[in-house]
């Protein structure tokens, strides 16, 4: 079943990028007690993800915080080391990187896609959401190949 507005995020373990290396975090702890803007990309360093998706959230971070977002996080079906390199490359100091290397989280959300045709295997769909104390309050899932409703600008316009 696909996650919907009003649902509580399912239990999953992600790997948060920290200066000391990957740190496992469970979804209940990470998303509990605060308001988090989360966006998902099919893969770090892929063209749209690097040229538009990540830069949009970097550019709109202050505006998102001004609208009551406590933390901005990105996730992808990549390992934490790739996510760390992508953050450095994209100047994403204010974005928390959450690696979902085994697609556990996006599978639990019901938001996977098959990218085997591109040599990428199972990946997460492109989406954005706002999670308030573990509950999804905004959810924007892209149609395959699209980039519009999951953008920082669109998410900001809904807050």
Which token pair is 140?
């924007």
Three-class secondary structure of residue 83 per DSSP: helix
List for the chain the helix, strand, coil content (%; round to 5).
30, 30, 40
55-90 burial: b if 16+ Cβ within 10 Å, else e: ebbbebbeebeeeebebbbbbbbbbbebbbbbbeeb
Indicate which residues carry an active-site annotation.
Answer: 49
Three-class secondary structure of residue 99 per DSSP: strand
Strand intervals (E) in 50-107 = 71-76, 95-99
Q: Which residues pair with 17 in a beta bridge?
A: 22
């Amino acid at each position: 079943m696909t996650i919907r507005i009003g649902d509580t995020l399912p239990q999953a373990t992600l790997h948060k990028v920290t200066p000391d290396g990957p740190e496992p975090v469970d979804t209940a702890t990470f998303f509990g007690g605060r308001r988090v803007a989360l966006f998902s990309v099919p893969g770090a360093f892929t063209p749209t993800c690097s040229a538009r998706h990540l830069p949009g959230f970097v550019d709109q971070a202050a505006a998102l915080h001004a609208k009551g977002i406590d933390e901005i996080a990105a996730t992808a079906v990549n390992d934490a080391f790739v996510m760390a390199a992508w953050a450095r490359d994209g100047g994403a100091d204010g974005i928390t990187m959450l690696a979902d290397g085994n697609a556990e989280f996006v599978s639990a959300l019901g938001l996977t896609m098959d990218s085997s045709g591109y040599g990428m295997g199972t990946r997460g769909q492109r989406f954005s959401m706002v999670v308030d104390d573990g509950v999804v309050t905004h959810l924007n899932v892209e149609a395959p190949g699209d980039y519009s409703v999951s953008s920082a600008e669109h998410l900001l316009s809904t807050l």
